[in-house]
Amino acid sequence: MPLIALLAACGSGTPSSAPQSSDHKEDAPLPADSRAVARGIDTLPYRSVSLDALETRLASGEDSIYLLNFWATWCAPCIAEMPVLDAFAERTRTDGPADAPPLKLIFVSVDAPSRAAQSLDAFLDGPRAPEAEVLHLDEAKPHRYIDRVHTDWSGSIPATLIRGADAEPVVFHEGELDAAQLESLYGTFRESR
């Protein structure tokens, strides 16, 4: 799939669910970002990771449920849904069922690696920065990772998936989510466990 497919205007889609698997089960920390080291600081407001490192990170979460949102700084619908996702994650942490595993929201930027440092630094220093963790997917060729993220993903953003550390089940939605759609997606995930 060419890069232009990922850069297409943020699309809308319908939720679907399909199991995804990962062979990465070792518990390995993410590497320090070399730009942070070059600047003489310990961390940036985000870390650049490969898809393999992201999969390893998720697999090491044991009892966590991950809400992953794929977005870019130039995507208006992506930015618009960030407060909805942040509020949902906070509400789930504070008001969710006591027996539910903790929910971890991670925003995964798909900004072009060549422009990510400038774009993400500027965005995350601004007033619209999300509350949750931000990672940058440092993969230059979307056609190599889109199907690995989810087989139903066309490459349009925003795209959101919910999964456990064991990678199954996965529920997926392509397009902007409102609060009701997000609640429904999470309900579908919890029913499938």
What pLDDT is attached to residue 63? 66
3-state secondary structure 29-72: CCCCCHHHHHCCCCCCCCEEECHHHHHHHHHCCCCCEEEEEEEC
* Domain 13-22+32-192 sits in CATH 3.40.30.10: yes
Residue with the larger pLDDT of the pair 46 and 105: 105
Within the chain, strands assigned E span 16-17, 47-49, 65-71, 103-109, 133-137, 159-164, 170-174
157 DSSP 8-state letter: S
Chain position carrying tokens 């320090």:
32
What pLDDT is attached to residue 8? 43
| Structure token pair of residue 24 | 């990465």
> pLDDT of 106-159, one tens digit each?
999 999 988 888 889 888 888 777 888 899 999 888 888 898 899 999 999 999
**Rounded (10°) CA dihedral 157, 161, 64, 31:** -40
Q: What distance in Å separates the CA atoms of residue 37 and residue 67, rounded to the nearest whole number? A: 29
What pLDDT is attached to residue 17? 36
- Which amino acid, residue 103? L
Nearest in space to 89 (alpha carbons), one of 120, 131, 61:
131
> pLDDT of 60-113, one tens digit each?
876 689 999 999 999 999 999 999 999 999 998 888 777 778 889 999 999 998
Q: Is 4 helix (H, G, I), strand (E, B) or coil?
A: helix
The whole-model pTM stands at 0.76
**How is the chain split into domains, by residue range?**
13-22+32-192
